[in-house]
Structure 1
Amino acid sequence: MAVPEDRQPLIATLKRAAYHLKDSGIPFCLAGSFAVYARGGESVDHDIDFLIKAEDAERVLTALAEVGFRGEVPPEGWLVKAFDPVGDQENLIDFIFCPVQRPVTDATLADTDVIAVNACHMPVLSATELMIHKVLTWSAHYCDYARGLPVARSLREQIDWPRVYRETAHSPYAHAFLFLIDRLGVMSLDETSALAASL
């Protein structure tokens, strides 16, 4: 799937960063809205997220600084940022090493497929893990199911729903979302919970 880069300038930044990470031998994968896009799905976000391991954060910033990116270490403690200067603006990439309080590991980075994103091949996070990350962002302070519905609908055949059920069982917001998409016909909550219990 390709998007003209003059219409979506973030694609060029995404490809440039992925190329230099691969060239530097730093393990990573594409996540977030562009991973949904890469998998043929619909997303309502427009930002670039890569997953990396915490021990590689400094290497990422160093490698990208060598090709003109500006790095930043924000106070949150679960990501670093890189800015790609494009004309009179900067395109932002978040390099996340602990999304939704789940540290990125070798197993996380193995839960991927190599997919061409506008002709640039890169590891892309699985649809299942993308859905898990999406539903675990919701809490008493932020719960916008409208941002999860397009992902669930467009990637539903790629998602291991029993795994989503198991790994988000502690979250009442996740359970409410699964109930909602069951009622909308996206998946069967009864079948999913039965399969999850049998594994």
Structure 2
Amino acid sequence: MSDPEGAGRREALKRVAVTLRAGDVGFALAGGYAGWALGGPEPDNDVDFVVAEADADRAASVLGEAGLDVRQPPEDWLFKVYTDGAMVDVLFRLAGETVDDELLGRAVEQEVLSVSMPVVDATDLVIGKLAALNEHACDLSKVLPTARALREKIDWPRAEAATAWNDIAVACLFLLRRLQVVPEA
């Protein structure tokens, strides 16, 4: 499933978004491609969408009925969709927190690759990236470029309050402040 140019991922992104919208499932583009849509660097891995946890089964059914290959991995917080030679993660929990209508309601409707779709709010995106940091997954390269590119769009006090429980996120925010990405309090 190697796609160094990202063409398959971009087609999969459009196909899943159009299918969810046609199925009347609330969703938002999330993860690295949300960061890209908001002005950050394009990721070189999978595509992520979020749906409300209460709608996860219906979302999987809508995508499966449209002929997409839907699979349930061992993790109990997402399912995977394979199409156009790419993998799409559809998450209904982010860093242990349930995706709900409130998070989806903050998403911003915008055109991505000529398809209108909701994209998670920049602050929610960064909160998710910070909250996912832990002792086993503390790769700051997943946070720093996006935070730097989107810094003016992020409600930093909200991001800091939402991730204050995570020592690695706090350290990352300290570094971002030292790099003058996060403004001084």
Q: Fold match, TM over 0.5?
A: yes
CA contact (8 A) 2:127 2:162 kept: yes
Q: In structure 2, how many angstroms separate the alpha carbons of the residues matched to 1:168 and 1:43?
A: 25
Does residue 69 of the first structure (1) align with residue 86 of the second (2)? Answer: no
CA contact (8 A) 1:128 1:159 kept: yes
Once the two structures are TM-superposed, the CA of residue 92 in structure 1 deviates from its matched residue by 1.0
CA contact (8 A) 2:33 2:43 kept: no
Give the aligned residue type for 2:86: N
* 1:118-133 alignment runs, 5 A limit: 118-133=113-128
Q: In structure 1, how many angstroms separate the alpha carbons of the residues matched to 2:41 and 2:15?
A: 23
Q: In structure 2, how many angstroms separate the alpha carbons of the residues matched to 1:44 and 1:56?
A: 27
* 1:2-41 alignment runs, 5 A limit: 8-41=7-40
Q: In structure 2, how many angstroms separate the alpha carbons of the residues matched to 1:7 and 1:152?
A: 22
CA contact (8 A) 2:49 2:89 kept: yes
**Which aligned runs of 4 or more in structure 1 are off by greater than 3 angstroms?**
none
Greater CA radius of gyration, 1 or 2?
Answer: 1
- How many residue pairs get aligned? The number is 181
CA contact (8 A) 2:46 2:86 kept: no
* 1:164-179 alignment runs, 5 A limit: 164-179=159-174
1:10/1:43 Cα in 2 relative to 1: closer, same or farther (>3 Å)?
closer
Q: Which moved more, 1:117-126 or 1:69-78?
A: 69-78
Q: Percent identity?
A: 38
Unaligned runs of 5+ in 2: none
Alignment partner, residue 194 of structure 1: none
Give the aligned residue type for 2:74: P
What is the RMSD of the two structures over their aligned residues, measured on CA atoms?
Answer: 1.4
CA contact (8 A) 1:34 1:46 kept: no
Q: Deviations 1:145-185 (Å, cap 9, x if unpaired)?
A: 12211011000000000001100111110110111011111
State which of 133, 137, 158 in structure 2 corresponds to 1:163. Answer: 158
**DSSP-derived class of the 2:25 partner:** coil
1:44/1:20 Cα in 2 relative to 1: closer, same or farther (>3 Å)?
closer
TM-score, normalised to structure 1, is 0.86
CA contact (8 A) 1:42 1:151 kept: yes
Does residue 150 of the first structure (1) align with residue 145 of the second (2)? Answer: yes
Q: In structure 2, how many angstroms separate the alpha carbons of the residues matched to 1:43 and 1:159?
A: 18
Unaligned runs of 5+ in 1: 1-5, 192-199
Q: Deviations 1:108-127 (Å, cap 9, x if unpaired)?
A: 10011001111100000000
